Amino acid sequence: MTPVSKGERISFPLRKITEGRVSFYIPDTAEKDTNFVKTPVFYNPLMELNRDISLLAVQVFQQEEKQRQIRFCEPLTGCGVRGIRIALEIPDVQQIHLNDKNKSAYELTRENIRENELQDKVTVSNEDANLFLDKQTSSGNRFDVIDIDPFGSPVTFIDSSVRALRKKNSLLCATATDMAPLCGVYPNVSLRKYGGYSLKTKYCHEIAVRLLAGCIVRTAARFSMGTKVRFVHSTDHYIRVYVETDHGDTKANISLQELGYVLHCFSCSYRELVRGMSTHLVQFCPNCNSVLSIGGPLFAGELFDKSFCERIKSEAEKRKFDDAKKRVTRLLDRVIEEADGPPLYYDVHSLCDELSIRVPKIEHVMSDLEKNGFKVTRTHFKPTALRTDAGVEDVKGVLMKCVKIE
């Protein structure tokens, strides 16, 4: 498509594309240049799945709040596509508030709002995100849903986002792309940013999700807000959490009880998720007596509200997401499967490397674990991993047995 220009307000060439039901403009280089920092306005086509699922989750949340016309906010909007899609594709959204401190992003979002004739429903501001959110903390201005999707860590915006949410049943959606700190490469950075120590384990992406969720739980509790994790996913280069908040000291106290720690043995791969902030933590591995590494504090509760995830899938099946639809439904199928599974998944390939054996078929491993009375599911976090309540030595024993049989 030939690049177009929108006059003096936008000084860079544009390209018109379609996502969902929305046609909108992006910088002409945005889909070609992988260095998003250098593009005049941030747009990442690889995050379309993120936006698809976000739209579905917001719609399901809106359906749960039957008598409420929700107010949605995206304080880091880029070209505005997420908010514009929500305005066009979700009924009963009362108002969409978008913001970006980048002047070019602000002007481009204004243009995209006009292009879709949404001036009466969607507004855009050109302010620092935290300043913008701080201005919305009076009771009449708070939002039902806030979606934080930054380039990097969302922690800078969690405090102001929590305070800008309605006190009764609101939804905070947050993306993190700074995976190196969250996955244990830079654990001290994780401790500084998220308030919890990360571990470089084979299930580090689950730890990453729990660190981000734990950060939100603690921040909300400071403002007497209870929390419930409704849905999380780890996809490509990012993690994503959906956390419902509700006001009340008692609810905040109950939420804090879901914080805890991960205990991990880097000698034999033993792992344990311990709930409680003041609990006694075992120092030595019960399997091999090596010193245990401690991750956290982090969220130690359930990561998935199964009924919420099932409703998201149901909405996905009604929509036309082209090729992306299959990926959305595959992800949701796996999430629904693992929703009842135990925490801290096992990577079958890494355990086989430890044992110096070839990798058996994961279906045979799961079948054998079930025959031995253990619970077992797959996980969306990793295609070569499974969740089970079997201990690491039991899993290794099954792997050895399956290799001999095959």
- Residue by residue, what is the 3-state secondary structure of 83-140? HHHHHHHCCCEEEEEEECCCHHHHHHHHHHHHHCCCCCCEEEECCCHHHHHHCCCCCC
Q: Rounded to an integer, what distance in angstroms lies between the CA atom of residue 386 and that of residue 119?
A: 48
Q: The domain spanning residue 355 has which CATH number? A: 3.30.56.70
Give dist(CA 232, CA 243) in Å, integer. Answer: 9
Give the mean model confidence (pLDDT) for residues 138-152. Answer: 91
User: What is the rounded distance in angstroms from the CA atom of residue 158 to the CA atom of residue 117?
Assistant: 31
Collapse the DSSP code of 279 into the 3-class scheme (helix H, G, I; strand E, B; otherwise coil) and give the result. coil
Per the prediction, the chain carries an average pLDDT of 92
pLDDT digits 0-9 by tens, 121-130? 999 999 999 9
Same domain, 288 and 315: no
Tell me, yes or no, whether 10 lies in a domain.
no
Check residue 46 and give its pLDDT: 84
β-pair partners for 273? 262
Question: Residue 7 above 80 pLDDT?
Answer: no
Beta bridge partners of 388: 376
Q: Which tens digits make up the pLDDT trace of 247-300?
A: 999 999 999 999 999 999 999 999 999 999 878 898 999 999 999 999 999 999
pLDDT on residue 321: 65
pTM here is 0.94
Regarding whether 276 and 240 lie in a shared domain, the answer is yes
Contact 71, 47 (CB under 8 A): no
Per residue in 102-123, pLDDT (tens digit) is 999 999 999 999 999 999 999 9
Beta strands in 182-320 (DSSP E): 225-235, 238-247, 259-264, 271-275, 293-299
Count of all residues that appear for the chain in the document: 406
Q: Is residue 208 part of a domain?
A: yes
With tokens 């994961």, the residue in question is 362
Q: Are residues 284 and 187 in the same domain?
A: yes
- Whether residues 145 and 88 share a domain: the answer is yes
What b-and-e string marks burial along 312-333, b requiring 16 or more CB atoms within 10 Å of the CB? Answer: bbebbeebebeebeeebeebbe
pLDDT (mean) for 55-82: 93
Highest-confidence segment of 2-6, 37-41, 344-348: 344-348
Rg, C-alpha atoms of the chain? 22
Domain boundary among 299, 319, 343: 299
Read off the pLDDT of each residue in 16-30 and give the average, rounded to a whole number: 86
Confidence band (pLDDT; 50, 70, 90) for 170? very high
Average pLDDT over residues 161-175: 96
Where does the pLDDT of residue 157 fall: very low under 50, low under 70, confident under 90, or very high at 90 and above? very high
CATH number of the domain that residue 70 is part of? 3.40.50.150
Pairing mode, strands 346-347 and 376-378:
unpaired
Is 35 part of a structural domain of the chain? no
Residue 159's H or E segment, with its range, is: helix 155-163
pLDDT one-digit tens code per residue, 195-205? 999 999 999 99
Is residue 377 one of the residues assigned to a domain? yes
| Exposure string for 91-101, b = 16+ CB within 10 A, e = fewer | eebebbbbbbb
pLDDT at 196: 98
CA separation, residue 274 to residues 10, 258, 299, 317, 341 (Å): 53, 10, 10, 37, 16
pLDDT-based confidence at residue 323 (cuts at 50, 70, 90): low
Last residue of a domain, one of 299, 320, 343: 299
* Last residue of one domain, picked from the residues 253, 280, 299: 299
32 located within any domain: no
Instruction: Give the SS3 label for residue 173.
Output: strand
How many secondary structure helices (H) and strands (E) does the chain include? 14, 15
Sign of the CA dihedral with 277 first, then 279, 285, and 291 last: positive
* Inside any domain, residue 52: yes
Q: Based on the fold, state whether residues 249 and 379 are members of the same structural domain.
A: no
pLDDT at 29 over 90: no
Decide: 81 and 87 in contact? Cβ < 8 Å.
no
252/347 same-domain check: no
| Residue 292 lies in domain | 45-299
Burial class (CB within 10 angstroms; exposed 0-12, middle 13-18, buried 19+) of 165: buried
Over the stretch 346-371, which tens digit does the pLDDT of each residue have?
Answer: 999 999 999 999 999 999 999 999 99
379 falls in which pLDDT band (50, 70, 90)? very high
User: How far are the Cα atoms of 43, 69, 265 from residue 180, in angstroms, in the given order?
Assistant: 22, 39, 20
Closest CA to 80 of 95, 96, 93: 96
* Residues 225 and 167: beta-carbon distance below 8 Å: yes
Instruction: Give pLDDT, residue 40.
Output: 82
pLDDT, mean of residues 24-40: 68
Tell me, yes or no, whether 314 and 290 share the same domain. no
The proportion of the chain whose per-residue pLDDT surpasses 70, expressed as a percent, equals 94
Residues facing residue 298 across a β-bridge: 260
- Is residue 1's pLDDT more than 80? no
Residues 234 and 136 in one domain: yes
100 and 170 assigned to the same domain: yes
Please tell me the least confidently modeled range out of 5-19, 228-242, 253-267, 344-358: 5-19
pLDDT at 98: 98
CA distances to 11, 201, 361, 365 from 355, rounded to whole Å, are: 59, 17, 16, 15
Give the pLDDT of residue 142.
Answer: 94
Per the structure, how many domains does the chain have? 2
pLDDT at 2: 40
Nearest to 312 by CA among 264, 240, 227, 384: 240
Quick check: is 294 in a domain?
Answer: yes
The answer on 224 and 113 residing in a single domain is yes
Are 357 and 330 in a shared domain?
A: yes
Does the residue 214 lie in any domain? yes
What does the DSSP 8-state code read for residue 197? B
pLDDT of residue 41: 87
pLDDT on residue 43 = 86
Residues 129 and 204 in one domain: yes
Predicted pLDDT at 8 = 53
pLDDT at residue 37 is higher than 60: no
| pLDDT score of 3 | 46
